[in-house]
Structure 1
Amino acid sequence: MTTRRGFLAGLVAAGALPTSGWADAGAPDYLAAALFPDGSYRLAGLRASGDMVFDLPLPGRGHAAAAHPSRPEAVAFARRPGRFALVIDCRTGQPIATLDAPEGRHFYGHGVFSRDGRMLFTTENDYDAGQGMIGLWDATRGYARIGEMFSGGVGPHDMVLMPDGETLAVANGGIETHPETGRAQLNLPFMAPNLTYMELDGGIEEQVTPPPGLHRNSIRHLALRGDGLLGFTMQWQGDVTTHPPLLGLHRRGSDPVFLAAPEVQQARLQGYAGSVAFSDDGSRIGFTAPRGGVLHLFDVASHAFATAHEIADVCGLGAGPSGFFFTAGTGLTGRLGRGRPAGVAQAGCQWDNHLVPVA
């Protein structure tokens, strides 16, 4: 296992300054995967205006992506249980590298760069051992795999780099799967999701788990506010007649807070939350529920439910001008401020699950 100290020393010797930035790729504000009318899967660069500045081919259905913090490079991840992650030069559309999951592993659709962009972290499934792993890839050496570390749980999905630049927050969904059984969930009676904070060399600093009555609430996706407040969404694997909270807030060293809408609105979610994001000013948090065709908003300070907006097949969500920017499987992109959602563009594609902000 490569130590963090040794890795950083190697980077000093091997690193080079970037020669171009995201402006050279059309200055996108977000990355998003989509299915196009010709049957191709692509990774697109979007502006908050709704303009698509590039669309680049993928070998299969994409899920989320990781945007390099300085260079116009994107890592597009396959939808789980996928084995490919494609590194693309977004200026030219040419592949830079293909990351193949090691034998006995598959990707979970998410990854994140270190603050300096020299290291990529990927969430992975060690499916024979039934545990989650974080893959380590050296972006200064053609994205060579240099090691791995335990994710702190089972089924790691989303992951973010905390504001200190030294800590990863990992959403361990708690659900065991195996490629031989597709997306079948193998451990629902005793699944144990958690939110794990870990050092970049694998040391676990803090773990947060839902209360026993919510142990079937799989923690899936994360949103980070600049002051370190973490938002997380969940997907319920329990009794379909109950409608537990699907949104949580957590600050390190504190207990998590679970937020829910009134029962009528909560039931509409069908136990499934998609993307989550803080508003541009951090005062609100929203999440999408594509199965219910709704977007829920909450006030962060009071934890109060604010409103629900009906948007067919909405899933991608990010901070945007005066609030939020969203995408939907219908091809719609739009903005959401303090009033009603407003569509800004209608693309000829089906947007997939997530919007990834570009630094």
Structure 2
Amino acid sequence: MRNRRGFLAGLLAASLTPRLSWADAGAPALLSAGRAPDGAYFLYGVSHQGAPTFRIPIPDRGHAAAAHPDRPVAVAFARRPGRFAVVLNCVTGAEIARLSAPEGRHFYGHGMFSPDGATLFTTENDFEAGEGRIGLWDATAGYRRMGEVSSAGVGPHEMRLMPDDRTLVVANGGVETHPDSGRAKLNLPVMQPNLAYLSLDGAVLEVVQMPPEHRQNSIRHLDVSGDGLVAFAMQWQGEETELRPVLGLHKRGAAPRAVPGSEIEMRAMNGYGGSVAFFDGGAQVAVSSPRGGRVQLSNVTTGRIAQSVEIEDVCGLGLLGGRLLTSSGTGQLQWIDGASLSRARIAWDNHLIPINAG
């Protein structure tokens, strides 16, 4: 009887223990990796006012992160070809788990949770087969590896959840790599990027490719508007003398389209799209270029570039209260309208990840 009473008392205590939320981590709106002045690497929370709310050490240079929808938990991912993915308690700073990609795999710097927070999805490289995979991890059981599905392409990078909460869109960059070759790109003459739409259980619903002249325009980063329009940032892998746009748009059932701009506008981006984000209620879309040192803003309906804003080493884009925030490797957090929030001694690296807390 004593054991039973102790068991029941434990259940009661557990039921009375308050469940931690993102508010307990300082109510951050965004996550970003960054490098401190002493060279150490951290995952940071960024408040609605653009100030750091926490910082947690990570093993090496980070790229992006995934935020749990309900709990103050984040997964920090290494910059390719780094191997780490660490699950962090953003209140205590404790490491909950360290994910190890299966043999013959490595992560691609991005991941996301299912809407209920039960499953973590990670983009991965099956580098012996030269194929993309989506890893499935059980967030309710210590982040146990449950399995994997095909990404329906090569070199999957970022993925996003569509508005129906049942479909993933995956940016398959098309570039084959192998850890033995560092960051070398092994298949540029025959690469073929695509956008793949998958059900949450891995069924391939739709795959679209850009026209042949964009075959070497690697699709890397994504955003999705409320009506299901997908914006994608591209990185040109062909001859440097050839100009290609770095922004594209796609609506399921239609052909993808590029947002080209003039020769001057395309040259200014240096063939490199870093991040992409809708704003202005989805009427406009922004794409950044750290190599070009600027952000271009385009009208979604007309497909025309409306404005170009110069910001040194800019990459991260995030929406705060309807306003577009940018981050840069120089430590700048700046609204796209030019108002500077802060210049921290943090080299922001590379993306601003929204926390869609329930």
Question: How would you bin the TM-score normalised by the shorter chain?
Answer: over 0.9
Q: Where does structure 1 differ by over 4 angstroms across 4 or more consecutive aligned residues?
A: none
What residue number does 1:345 align with?
342
CA distance in 2, matches of 1:199, 1:131: 19
- Give per-residue Cα distances to partners, 1:197-253, cap 9 Å, x unaligned: 011111100001010111000000000111111100100011111111110111111
CA distance in 2, matches of 1:132, 1:265: 32
| Match for residue 355 of structure 1 among 343, 346, 352 | 352
| Contact map agreement 1:66 1:113 (CA 8 A) in 2 | yes
CA distance in 2, matches of 1:280, 1:80: 32
TM-score by length of 2: 0.93
What residue number does 1:301 align with?
301
What residue number does 1:53 align with?
53
Compare CA radii of gyration and give the structure with the larger one: 2
Q: 2:136 aligned with 1:161, yes or no?
A: no
Unaligned runs of 5+ in 2: 1-14
What residue number does 1:79 align with?
79
Cα gap change, 1:280/1:55 in structure 2, threshold over 3 Å: closer, same or farther? farther
Cα gap change, 1:18/1:149 in structure 2, threshold over 3 Å: closer, same or farther? farther
Give matches, 1:97-136, under 5 Å. Answer: 97-136=97-136
| Contact map agreement 1:175 1:186 (CA 8 A) in 2 | yes
What residue number does 1:42 align with?
42
1:262 counterpart letter in structure 2? S
Cα gap change, 1:280/1:85 in structure 2, threshold over 3 Å: closer, same or farther? farther
| Contact map agreement 2:210 2:257 (CA 8 A) in 1 | no
TM-score by length of 1: 0.93
What residue number does 2:223 align with?
223
What SS does structure 2 have at the residue aligned with 1:355? strand
2:342 counterpart letter in structure 1? A
Q: Provide the identity percentage.
A: 55
| Contact map agreement 1:280 1:319 (CA 8 A) in 2 | no
CA distance in 2, matches of 1:116, 1:323: 27
| Contact map agreement 1:279 1:318 (CA 8 A) in 2 | no
Aligned residues: 341
- Give per-residue Cα distances to partners, 1:20-78, cap 9 Å, x unaligned: 21111100010000011111100000013121100110011100000000100000001
- Give per-residue Cα distances to partners, 1:106-156, cap 9 Å, x unaligned: 000000110000000000000001000000000000110010011101000
What residue number does 1:333 align with?
333
Of stretches 279-288 and 89-98 in structure 1, the one that deviates more from structure 2 is: 279-288
CA distance in 2, matches of 1:165, 1:307: 32
What residue number does 2:8 align with?
none
What residue number does 2:9 align with?
none
What SS does structure 1 have at the residue aligned with 2:265? helix
How far 1:157 moved relative to its partner? Answer: 0.4
What SS does structure 2 have at the residue aligned with 1:325? strand
How far 1:322 moved relative to its partner? Answer: 4.2
CA distance in 2, matches of 1:179, 1:72: 32
